[in-house]
Each structure stands twice: as structure tokens, then as C-alpha cells.
Amino acid sequence: MATMRKAHLAAAPPASSHNRPLGEAASADCVRVEIRSVLRFGFLLLTLLATGHALADDRPVQKVLVSFDGALHNEQWDRSLALAVETGARFTYFLSCTYLLTWETRREYRPPDRGAGASNVGFGYSREDVADRLANILRADSEGHEIGNHACGHFDGGGWTEAEWLHEFAEFDRIVARAYEINGIENEPEPWRDLARAMNGGFRAPYLSAGDGMFAALRAHGFAYDASTVSQGPQAPGAVNGLATFALPMVAEGPQGRPVLAMDYNLFVRHSGGFERADTEGAFEERAYRAFMDAFESEYGGSRKPLQIGFHFTLMNGGAYWNALERFARAVCIRDDVACISYREALADGAVVTGAGG
């Protein structure tokens, strides 16, 4: 019996194996397989993330072009330049030359199709006001902003001939170059005349009213680009017969996402019919901000075509649209892969599609 018992004990499996729960060996194998699967998945995920990051880095910087038409009020010069310092943005100011004249000097301006001293947008308020504006223009230029041409009297020149437009450009050149002298302002800074000539780099037509005569005159006068046309959405700048063209886009706005031109005045008309209304609850500001941000995010997450937004120095509906612009600039211009730049800088990048636009 003892012998038989020893044999039985010898045949018994080791205690550790004998006490293992049923199926434990298979479970251990599964765990090893799962660990290998997790490791492989993790490696694949890291590879995909790295590849996606590389692809994202290969995309162009998102350009945002903010411009101001007219550029009258010195308070808005101060406000826009402060925003630029805060956010690193560089703007384009399309100047109306009658803002460098006063009521007393208004007859220096001779429009192509009406009497001397006419203007749809008035003049500077005083010699001191003009002097402050000239100082702001010089400051903006020294800080890297662009000063462009918005003609003089803000007339609808859609039907003007090439000769009439060339007359208007000649008036702009003369008045801007001689602004200190015309207004009896002493100590004209040495760089002023060079800056005056540089304002013939870019142009935006009053009322965005462009015609064949205007485009012919722009080319003849040596402009580098026009920013007067409109597109259905953001698009790359085009070029026609050697003249680059930038088109202000339509963007979705409001609860129904209806298209509206990306410009403060058009939002003003959309929201209040062009009549001043206090934005007491901030609804106009919020709608404008959301329209700008939605248009930006669409491009930022997509093909990254430049986004253009147009403004004036007039505070409409209680300043709702300037408030929205400041929020927008603070949200996007500080990003590493976003460049809030002037039209001049965008043109220098060379991203012009020949034969498109205009």
C-alpha cells in the first residue's frame, strides 16, 4: 500500500499547477496577445499622429487681411493701432484724400466730373485734426502697416473712363504729397513724400464700384493690386493683365447662415437696415463675431485661403462691429500658424493665381 501511495503521489502534478483555476493558462496567453495588440495599436496611433502633425505643419499659414476704408477719425486710428500692438496684426488703411483737407482748403480737390471742393464724405475737421491724422499715418507706416488709396471724394466711379480715373489718381497724389503745405502745417517730416508715393501700391474703389475704366487706369498708373471686387467666399488672389486682384468674400451670417459681404457696413444694413440702433444686448456684436469666426475656422481647418474682412472708421450700431473685430483679432491673430497681415505682405508672398479674379 505504501508503495502504491508513493507512486500515486509521484504521478500527481505539482501543487502550483494543481491549484491553478480552470482556463488560467489560456487566459495568460490571451493577455500576452492583447498586450502585443495594444502595443502595436499604440505604435500605429503614434505614427498616425506624427504623420498628421507633419501634414498639418505642411499646410500654409492662415492669412487674415483686415482693412479700413476712409480712415478719418483719429480716435479710430488710435484704437486700431493699439489693437495691432496687442495682437501683432498689421492692417491696410485705404485713405480718402479729402480727409487731408479742411473746409477751408477743400477747393484744392478738383473731382473729374463735378466742381472743385465736392465730396461725398466731407473733409478733415480742422488743421489740427489733419495734423493729427498725418501723424497717425506716419506712425502706422513706421509700425509696418500699409497705407493704400481709396480715391478722394468717395464718388461712384463705376462708369468713369480711364482718363477720369487717371485724373482722380493725380488729384490724390498731389493732395497727399502736399498735405502739410496745403494746410499750413509746419515741419513736414522727411519721409512724407516717399510715403505718399507708396500709397499707389494698392487701391479699393468707393462703394466697391469697379469698371473697365478703373482697371485700365490702375494698370496705367502703376498700381500693384486692386481690392474692389467681391467673391462668393474666400479665394486666393488673382491677376488680370498684370494687376493682382483681391476679392472681399461673402460669408455665412445669422441664424439661417445667409451670405453677406464680410464688411461692417453690410452687417449694419443686414442687422438694422442701415439705421443706427443701440446694441444693448450685444446681439449685433455676437452675430458679427460668429460670422467672422465661422469663416475663419472653415478656412483654418480646410485649404487655408486668405480671409479678408473690410471695415470703416465709423462706429455703427453702437460700435458693435468694432467690438466684434477686436474679439476676433484677439482670438486668431495670436496663433502661431495665423498671420494677420496687410495686402502688401500677402501680395509679396506670391500666392497669386494668374488669370483669376478681377
CB count within 10 Å of CB 335 equals 14
Q: Does residue 35 surpass a pLDDT of 60?
A: no
Q: Does residue 25 surpass a pLDDT of 70?
A: no
pLDDT at 53: 44
What is the per-residue pLDDT across 115-128, written as a single tens digit (0 to 9) for each?
A: 999 999 999 999 99
Exposed/middle/buried for residue 106 (C-beta within 10 Å: 0-12, 13-18, 19+): middle
Q: Does residue 50 surpass a pLDDT of 90?
A: no
Q: Does residue 23 surpass a pLDDT of 70?
A: no
Confidence of residue 241 (pLDDT cuts 50, 70, 90): confident
Residues in the chain: 358
pLDDT at 349: 84
What is the per-residue pLDDT across 156-177, written as a single tens digit (0 to 9) for each?
A: 999 999 999 999 999 999 999 9
Between CA 217 and CA 358 the distance in angstroms is 14
Three cell numbers written together for 240: 488680370
Q: Is the dihedral of CA 329, 260, 94, 307 positive or negative?
A: positive
CA dihedral 88, 326, 300, 344 (to 10 degrees): -50
What is the per-residue pLDDT across 214-229, written as a single tens digit (0 to 9) for each?
A: 999 999 999 999 999 9
pLDDT at 352: 63
pLDDT at 60: 92
Q: Among 40-54, 235-249, 320-334, which range has the highest average pLDDT?
A: 320-334
In one-letter notation, the amino acid at residue 220 is A
Among residues of the chain, what percentage have pLDDT more than 90?
80
The two counts, helices (H) then strands (E), for the chain are: 13, 11
pLDDT at 58: 81
Higher pLDDT, 26 or 247: 247
Between CA 240 and CA 205 the distance in angstroms is 17
Q: Domain locations in the chain?
A: 63-354
What is the per-residue pLDDT across 84-93, written as a single tens digit (0 to 9) for each?
A: 999 999 999 9
pLDDT at 154: 98
Higher pLDDT, 55 or 228: 228
CB count within 10 Å of CB 83 equals 19
DSSP string, 296-349: HHHHHTTT---EEEEEESS--GGGHHHHHHHHHHHHHTTSTTEEE--HHHHHHT
Q: Does residue 56 surpass a pLDDT of 60?
A: no
Exposed/middle/buried for residue 286 (C-beta within 10 Å: 0-12, 13-18, 19+): middle
pLDDT at 46: 47
Q: Does residue 49 surpass a pLDDT of 70?
A: no
Q: Where are the beta strands (DSSP E) in 176-257?
A: 202-203, 225-231, 238-240, 243-253
Q: Does residue 40 surpass a pLDDT of 70?
A: no
What is the per-residue pLDDT across 329-350, written as a single tens digit (0 to 9) for each?
A: 999 999 999 999 999 999 998 7
pLDDT at 13: 35
DSSP string, 186-209: ----TTHHHHHHHTTSEE--GGG-
Higher pLDDT, 25 or 61: 61
Q: Does residue 52 surpass a pLDDT of 60?
A: no
**For the residues 298-314, what does the mean pLDDT come to?**
97
Q: Does residue 199 surpass a pLDDT of 90?
A: yes
pLDDT at 89: 98
| Cα 84–chain centre separation | 12
Q: Does residue 6 surpass a pLDDT of 80?
A: no
Domain 63-354 class? Answer: alpha beta
pLDDT at 242: 86
Q: Does residue 16 surpass a pLDDT of 70?
A: no
Three cell numbers written together for 340: 494677420
Nearest to 112, CA basis, from 147, 148, 145, 161: 161
Q: Does residue 188 surpass a pLDDT of 60?
A: yes
pLDDT at 314: 96
**For the residues 239-264, what does the mean pLDDT come to?**
96
